[in-house]
Structure 1
Amino acid sequence: MYDQLVEAWNKMLAKLESWLDAVIVNLPNLIIAIVVFIIALIASKYVSKLVLKLLDRSNLQRSMKKVIAKLVSIVVILLGLFLILGILNLGKALNTILAGAGVAGLAVGLALQGALANTYSGIILSYIKNLKYGDWIETNDYEGEVIDIDLRAVTIKQVDNNLVYIPNKLVVENPIKNYSTTSQSRVILECGVGYESDLRMVKKLTVDTVVNHFKAVEKKDDVLFLWKGFGDSSINYELRFWINSTSALEVAKAKSETMMLIKDVYDKNDINIPFPIRTLDFPKEFNFANNSGES
């Protein structure tokens, strides 16, 4: 038993010595491989920046430029890895890696279906001209300004300054409302006045107020004023007009400003904006004094 242990120990030492000899022999190649790897990492960053500068002269969207720059950076690193395998005389290992790449790629694809779907959707979004940085959009029940589009998600900044990261797949598969597509946005305001009001006077005062305050509204015909119906406590109308803005936030501000202006004008002209009221009809024989005494 002792002799067997000694023999095994000697074989292990011999094997370690052979490995050490191989390391010493290949040490220059190993050092060169490390240097090449570091150079490849540094070169990938500089090449990515250079590609971005060159693409800035093109009409591609910013998101697409970033995608192309990242892909070029990855290609530079892969070329460096192939060069390292050649320096270390690992050609056979390279053939083995390439042979197993198909099976490994299939397994990785099945495991990363969601991530790959977001990546593919990110590339699609980068080609869409109607969705770009700075646009104010509404999608998947979220609304805000687009501040980033990468291979994973679309980042929007909401009115409250919070960031929302929406997976690219959801943005591609669901409707997108882009407020920045046109140069103007419509303000829609609903209100109501009391039944005792002069409806023609109400319409004139409301339209004049909008025309006099908003520069984008040049004439009265640009304002759409529609009576909608007789409500429980008021006669309701809808007011529509355009403003020079592509931001939903600016639309909300214009709507708020319009509400204040209309309220001031109505107060000066004794026009009532009623709140819901309830009228109680009591029988003629109903005696308030007797009922209050009983209570």
Structure 2
Amino acid sequence: MDKKFNEAWLKMVEKLESWFDALVVNLPNLIIAVLVFVIALVLSRYINKLSSKILERTKLQASMQNLISKLMSVVIILFGLFLVLGILNLSKTLNAILAGAGVVGLAVGLALQGALANTYSGIVLSYVKHLKFGDWIESNGFEGEVVDLDLRSVTLKQPDNNLVYIPNKLVVENPIKNFSTTAQSRVILGCGVGYSSDLNFVRELVIKRISEAFDEVENKEDIIFLYKEFGDSAINFEVRFWIDSTSALEVAKAKTEALILIKTAFDKNDITIPFPIRTLDFPESLKIQTEKK
């Protein structure tokens, strides 16, 4: 038993000595490999910053600029990793890695179909000229300002200051309504007046108050006033005008201000805004008895 133990001990010592000898022999290569990898990391950061500054002078969107800068940084790191493997005489390991990359890539692709779809969609969105940071858009039932666009999702900042993260795949596959493609937004407000109202006077009154209240409306011709229909209890109309903003919040504020102006003007001129009421018509033959107390 002691003999076997001694033999095992000697083999372990020999193995450790061989490892130590290999470490001493390869120590210069190990030091050089570490230095090369550190240089690759530093160089990747420098290339990232340099490419970002150069791309800022181009017409590419900010999201696409960030993507290209990151890709260039990753390429530098991978190149440094290949150099490290060569310095450490691990060329066989490198060949094995490259040989297994195809199989691993196929497995990863099947497992990450959704993530890869979002990544590809993010690249596509980076090339879309009509979608950039600061735009106010509506997509997939959500509305807000585009504050971030990466390889996973589009981040919207809603009017209530909450953030919504929409996967890039859904944004690409569904319609996008961009309110920022023009410098102005149209405010549309509907209302109704009683059948006894003077329709010409109502139209002139609404147009006058809107033109006086909003600086964006240079003249009365910029306001569109349309009577729409004979409603159940009112004659319904619609007024449209432009404001110098593409924010949905500013549109809502303008609509609120216009609503207050119209209601105040109607009250001063005894113009009624009817609301649905129910009238009960009793036949003459029906007698209603009241209890006398």
TM-score normalised over the length of structure 1: 0.94
* Runs of 4+ with >6 A deviation: none
- The aligned residue for residue 241 of structure 1 is 241
Aligned to 2:195: 195
Amino acid across the alignment from 2:267: D
**CA displacement at 1:285 relative to structure 2:** 4.4
Residue in 1 aligned with 2:51?
Answer: 51
Letter in 2 for 1:284: E
- 1:17-36 aligned within 5 A: 17-36=17-36
- Displacement of 1:74 in angstroms is 0.3
Moved more, 150-159 or 215-224: 215-224
Q: Which stretch has the larger CA shift, 86-95 or 241-250? A: 241-250
1:24 Cα deviation after fit: 1.9
Q: Match of 1:57, SS?
A: coil
SS in 1 for 2:190: strand
**Post-superposition CA distance 1:186-242 (Å, at most 9, x none):** 111111112221111111111111222223323333222222222232221111122
Equivalent position SS for 1:227: strand
Moved more, 274-283 or 179-188: 274-283
The one-letter code sitting in structure 2 at the alignment partner of 1:247 is: S
For the residues of structure 1 that align with 2:252 and 2:273, how far apart are their CA atoms? 21
User: What residue in structure 2 maps to residue 284 of structure 1?
Assistant: 284
**CA distance in 2: counterparts of 1:282 and 1:28, whole angstroms:** 108
The alpha-carbon deviation at position 46 of structure 1 amounts to 1.7
Shifted more, 230-239 versus 84-93: the winner is 230-239
**What is the aligned partner in structure 2 of residue 179 from structure 1?**
179
Aligned residue for 2:250?
Answer: 250
2:291 maps to 293
Bigger shift: residues 207-216 or 161-170: 207-216
User: Where does residue 109 of structure 1 map in the other structure?
Assistant: 109
- CA–CA distance in 1 between the matches of 2:172 and 2:3? 72
Q: What is the count of residue pairs matched by the alignment?
A: 293
> Partner amino acid for 2:17?
E
Residues 51-84 of structure 1 show CA distances to partners (whole Å, capped at 9, x for unaligned) of 0001111111111100000001101111110111
Q: Secondary structure at the match of 2:166?
A: strand
Consecutive unaligned residues in structure 2, runs of 5 or more = none
Q: Determine the structure 1 residue equivalent to 2:84.
A: 84
d(CA) in 2 for partners of 1:204 and 1:72?
Answer: 63
Give the equivalent residue in structure 2 for 1:160. 160
- Distance between the aligned counterparts of 2:226 and 2:292, measured in 1? 51
What SS does structure 2 have at the residue aligned with 1:280? coil
CA deviation profile, 1:22-41 (whole Å, cap 9, x unmatched): 11221222222222222222
Per the alignment, in what secondary structure is the counterpart of residue 291 of structure 2?
A: helix
Cα distance 1:229–1:294, how it changes in 2: closer, same or farther (>3 A)? Answer: farther
**What value does the CA root-mean-square deviation take over the aligned residues?**
1.7
- Once the two structures are superposed, residues 94-117 of structure 1 have per-residue CA deviations (whole angstroms, 9 ceiling, x without a partner) of 111111111111111111111111
